[in-house]
């Protein structure tokens, strides 16, 4: 006798869960229950069981219908176990309705073909089917990395003919986090102990390195084939091509596992390559095969898949990092604008196991061309950082945690060092975008970097998008803006107006430093080694008002830049901006790679009225007694700079030291600069002359004094004689 019950939920439901009561018992083995995954007896059988007294797992349908058929012998009756208080009952069903998303690869749309397709450019977690599988069922999972979403736009290999082996931009990264196969239903404790020591492949998962369009038929579990030379290898052939087995998972045999990833996917460490597999093409096929019904022997697995995008713009820079790219104008058919995006190879990011990221995108223009960069989008993950534009210079700077950033560098002259021209970061969508930069030279680089990455850093959270264009440059500038003299003065307002914004490059001699002096007002300083605070601003307080929109940016080899408002040379104010070469302030010896000692001077927003200038001077450090056995004093010392200067600037008529020490009378007098022997002889001669002159003067003065006394005596005598005669005459009369 057969009794069939069709269980069908409302249309809005997707699957059914069927549970059996433990209190059932059949008299003969001819009494059994059959559960079909559908509404007819032609649908797959997911459960067939007889007997009683043991709990049966839930049977879950793959669709909205489920058929339960009860078959009993005409000679048998229901018997109730002695422990039960009920009488004459066979079995009980508990039916529940579950709403599911049928678009996920955990529910098969077809009841007879268990096959899933996953295509795209992202990543995800793949699990076993959540509905019950019939015995001898094989499910195929086709994973293909592609930007095409439509089925007709994808090259799907068919069952006959050769497979496409052309190189593609994608690879598939598989990390198996869990594989579990339950023991046989009703197994004893002794059988369970035996299962732990043996391999059971009645339910298994195989990973194929390539497309697989039909279920393989193999003589053994590894699909071993023997070549002509007698070697065995795992493969299955379609036409002239071969699809190899990457791995096979069975109960008691798990080759590689990234089981820690299932605990907490966001905070756990990334899966390494030794714990996972990477395909050789853009296609991977997973084969899930079970010999028993998953109702009685549940089979569970969980794995993480990632479509690794290897496509990059531009051409590779040979011998360097794989994400360093080059864009040359000579190789472009069209001058632009051209789009560019950051690298998307997951193995270069935190989720792929990398700790730091640094990619360089180099743009090279031809003679008479300039490079225009526009950064339209930037994402720097969960780091609190924003980029803001300086109102004085129009350049972007990063504020906050800039461990992930996009930087713009320029090489103003051939074979010179790179100078920073802007920084972009964006974690709160408050950054000023787009950022536009037009070079003054023929080479620009974009540096995309991130440090201390975690499992949450991937191409979706760390990326940028930009456009670049090679534009026509200004007229050829005749003045030479690359200086390498010991000292000099540059008038910023000289030359053609189109060329005034081109930077000046001052290069010192070997083992020398530079001292740059500009008459102007200090506005702000930027040091890449000391990021700007997130709550900082561009406001600056100056002692006097700056009346010009022109700005001067002085940058050394370490990227430290000083922005100043220039003052005319004829102004009465004494405000001065001073900048030194990289490494000048270092007090201790440095044994690493030192930064370049060149200095770049830029004149932005030049005006016609002002007369601005800057000067430079080569310096050497004053010897220190702590690092030298014998301290040698500088023969030519600028005390206010505490530096030694070249002898050629000493007493040349131009004050180079800020205090004018190089033109002081004590140093520049011709007499004082004579040798010591001559100075001693001249001193003796001068002393003799002085003594002779003193004796001569003494004698002359003494002689004059003697003559004066004789004359006075004679006059006194004459005066006495006249008186006497007069008296005599008086007497006579």
Mind listing the pLDDT tens digit for each residue in 583-637? Answer: 898 776 556 678 899 999 999 988 777 789 999 999 998 876 555 555 567 888 8
Give 139-182 pLDDT, tens digit per residue: 999 999 988 644 444 444 433 333 343 457 899 999 999 999 98
Per the structure block, which two tokens stand in for 287? Answer: 């084969």
CB-CB neighbours of 443 under 10 Å: 18
**Distance of alpha carbon 623 from alpha carbon 617, whole angstroms:** 18
Q: Which residue has the higher pLDDT, 729 or 354?
A: 354
Ranges of beta strands (E only) in 429-573 are: 435-438, 443-450, 462-472, 482-483, 487-491, 504-506, 513-526, 551-556, 561-566
Q: Residue 93 — pLDDT band, cuts 50, 70, 90?
A: confident
**Cα torsion 264, 268, 270, 271: sign:** negative
Q: Which residue has the higher pLDDT, 493 or 324?
A: 324
For tokens 């005390």, the residue is 639
For 115-149+168-225+240-309, the fitting CATH number among 2.60.120.290, 3.40.50.300, 2.40.40.20, 1.10.287.3510 is 2.60.120.290
Share of the chain above pLDDT 90, in %: 34
Cβ distance 585 to 630 under 8 Å?
A: no
Walk across the sheet containing 66-71 and list its strands.
Answer: 2-7, 66-71, 32-36, 45-50
pLDDT, mean over the chain: 80
Burial 7-36 (b: 16+ CB within 10 A, else e): bebeeeebbbbbebeebbbbeeeebbbbbb
**Distance of alpha carbon 613 from alpha carbon 570, whole angstroms:** 11
Per the structure block, which two tokens stand in for 75? Answer: 């000679």
For residue 654, the surrounding DSSP H or E stretch is none
What separation in angstroms does the CA of 640 have from each of 318, 576, 656? 49, 14, 12
Is residue 12 pLDDT above 90, yes or no? no
pTM value is 0.80
- 3-state SS, 275-317, equals HCEECCCCEEEEEEEECCCCCCCCEEEEEEEEEEECCCCCEEC
Q: Which residue has the higher pLDDT, 629 or 131?
A: 131
**Distance of alpha carbon 373 from alpha carbon 165, whole angstroms:** 38
Question: What angle (nearest 5°) sits at the alpha carbon of residue 20, between those of residues 16 and 23?
Answer: 165
Cβ distance 176 to 256 under 8 Å?
A: yes
Q: Residue 449 — pLDDT band, cuts 50, 70, 90?
A: very high
User: Residue ranges per domain, the chain?
Assistant: 2-75+88-99, 115-149+168-225+240-309, 315-472, 482-584+595-621
Is residue 269 pLDDT above 60, yes or no? yes
**Distance of alpha carbon 128 from alpha carbon 184, whole angstroms:** 19
Architecture of domain 482-584+595-621: Sandwich (2.60)
Walk across the sheet containing 462-472 and list its strands.
Answer: 338-341, 462-472, 369-380, 435-438
Q: What was the pLDDT predicted at 29?
A: 53
What separation in angstroms does the CA of 84 have from each of 33, 292, 650? 21, 31, 116
Is residue 563 pLDDT above 90, yes or no? yes
**Distance of alpha carbon 418 from alpha carbon 436, whole angstroms:** 18
Q: What was the pLDDT predicted at 157?
A: 42
Is residue 81 pLDDT above 60, yes or no? no
Q: May I ask the CATH class of domain 315-472?
A: mainly beta
Give 455-466 pLDDT, tens digit per residue: 889 999 999 999
Q: Which of 26-40, 60-74, 358-372, 479-493 has the lowest mean pLDDT?
A: 26-40
Q: Which of 104-113, 127-136, 285-294 has the lowest mean pLDDT?
A: 104-113
Nearest to 602 by CA among 441, 425, 423: 441
Give 208-259 pLDDT, tens digit per residue: 998 876 666 665 555 666 666 766 665 555 444 467 888 999 988 888 898 8
Over residues 464-482, the mean pLDDT reads 85
Q: Which residue has the higher pLDDT, 329 or 572?
A: 329
Give 613-628 pLDDT, tens digit per residue: 999 999 998 876 555 5
Q: What was the pLDDT predicted at 32?
A: 80
Is residue 321 pLDDT above 80, yes or no? no
Cβ distance 94 to 63 under 8 Å?
A: no
What separation in angstroms does the CA of 526 have from each of 398, 543, 547, 556, 582? 10, 20, 23, 11, 14
Per the structure block, which two tokens stand in for 184? Answer: 């046989």
- Select the highest-mean-pLDDT range: 347-351, 493-497, 587-591, 717-721: 347-351
Quickly name the fold that domain 2-75+88-99 has.
Answer: Jelly Rolls (2.60.120)
């Amino acid at each position: 006798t057969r009794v069939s019950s069709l269980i069908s939920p409302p249309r809005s439901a997707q699957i059914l869960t069927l549970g059996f009561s433990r209190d059932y018992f059949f008299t003969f083995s001819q009494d059994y229950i059959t559960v079909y995954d559908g509404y007819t007896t032609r649908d797959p059988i997911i459960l067939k069981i007889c007997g009683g007294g043991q709990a049966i797992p839930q049977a879950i349908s793959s669709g909205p219908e489920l058929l339960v058929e009860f078959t009993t012998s005409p000679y048998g009756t229901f018997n109730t176990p002695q422990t039960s208080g009920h009488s004459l009952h066979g079995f009980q069903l508990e039916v529940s309705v579950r709403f599911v998303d049928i678009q996920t690869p955990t529910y098969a749309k077809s009841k007879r073909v268990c096959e899933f397709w996953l295509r795209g450019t992202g990543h995800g977690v793949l699990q076993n089917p959540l509905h019950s599988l019939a015995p001898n069922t094989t499910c195929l999972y086709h994973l293909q990395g592609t930007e095409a979403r439509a089925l007709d736009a994808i090259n799907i290999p068919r069952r006959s003919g050769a497979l496409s082996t052309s190189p593609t931009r994608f690879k598939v990264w598989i990390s198996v986090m869990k594989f579990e196969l339950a023991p046989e239903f009703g197994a004893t404790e002794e059988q369970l102990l035996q299962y732990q020591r043996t391999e059971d492949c009645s339910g298994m998962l195989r990973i194929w390195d390539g497309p697989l369009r039909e279920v393989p038929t193999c003589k053994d579990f590894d699909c071993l084939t023997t070549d002509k030379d007698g070697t065995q290898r795992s493969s299955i052939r379609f036409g002239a091509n071969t699809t190899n087995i990457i791995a096979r998972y069975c109960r008691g045999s798990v080759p590689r596992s990234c089981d820690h990833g299932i605990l907490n996917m966001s905070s756990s460490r990334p899966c390494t390559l030794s714990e996972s597999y990477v395909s050789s093409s853009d296609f991977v096929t997973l084969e899930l095969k079970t010999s028993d019904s998953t109702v009685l022997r549940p089979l569970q697995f969980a794995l993480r898949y990632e479509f690794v995008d290897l496509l990059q713009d531009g051409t590779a820079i040979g011998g360097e990092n794989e994400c360093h790219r080059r864009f040359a104008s000579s190789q472009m058919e069209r001058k632009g604008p051209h789009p560019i995006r950051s690298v998307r190879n997951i193995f270069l990011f935190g989720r792929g196991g990398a700790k730091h990221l640094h990619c360089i995108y180099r743009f090279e223009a031809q003679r008479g061309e300039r490079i225009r960069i526009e950064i339209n989008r930037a994402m720097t993950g969960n780091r609190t950082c924003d980029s803001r534009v300086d109102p004085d210079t129009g350049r972007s700077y990063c504020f906050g945690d800039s461990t992930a950033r996009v930087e713009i560098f320029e090489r103003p002259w051939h074979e010179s060092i790179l100078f920073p021209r802007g920084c972009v970061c964006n974690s709160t969508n408050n950054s000023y975008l787009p950022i536009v930069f037009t070079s003054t030279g023929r080479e620009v680089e974009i540096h995309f970097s991130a440090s201390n990455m975690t499992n949450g850093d991937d191409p979706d959270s760390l990326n940028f998008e930009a456009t670049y264009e090679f534009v026509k440059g200004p007229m050829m500038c005749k003045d030479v803006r690359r200086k390498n003299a010991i000292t000099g003065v540059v008038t910023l307002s000289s030359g053609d107006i189109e060329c005034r914004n081109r930077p000046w490059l001052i290069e010192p001699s070997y083992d020398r430093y530079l001292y740059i002096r500009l008459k102007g007002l200090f506005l702000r300083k930027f040091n890449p080694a000391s990021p700007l605070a997130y709550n900082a601003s561009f406001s600056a307080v100056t002692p006097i008002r700056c009346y010009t929109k022109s700005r001067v940016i002085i940058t050394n080899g370490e990227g430290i830049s000083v922005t100043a408002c220039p003052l005319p040379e004829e102004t009465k104010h004494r405000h001065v901006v001073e900048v030194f070469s990289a490494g000048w302030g270092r007090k201790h010896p440095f044994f690493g790679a030192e930064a370049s000692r060149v200095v770049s001077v830029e004149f932005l927003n030049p005006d016609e009225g002002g007369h601005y200038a800057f000067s430079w001077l080569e310096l050497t450090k004053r010897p220190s007694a702590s690092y030298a056995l014998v301290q040698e004093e500088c023969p030519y010392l600028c005390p206010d700079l505490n530096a030694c200067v070249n002898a050629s600037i000493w007493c040349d008529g131009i004050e180079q030291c800020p205090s004018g020490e190089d033109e002081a009378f004590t140093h520049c007098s011709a007499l004082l600069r004579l040798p010591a022997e001559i100075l001693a002889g001249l001193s003796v001669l001068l002393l003799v002359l002085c003594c002779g002159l003193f004796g001569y003067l003494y004698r002359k003065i003494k002689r004059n004094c003697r003559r004066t006394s004789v004359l006075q005596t004679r006059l006194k005598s004459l005066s006495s004689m006249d008186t006497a005669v007069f008296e005599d005459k008086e007497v006579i009369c």
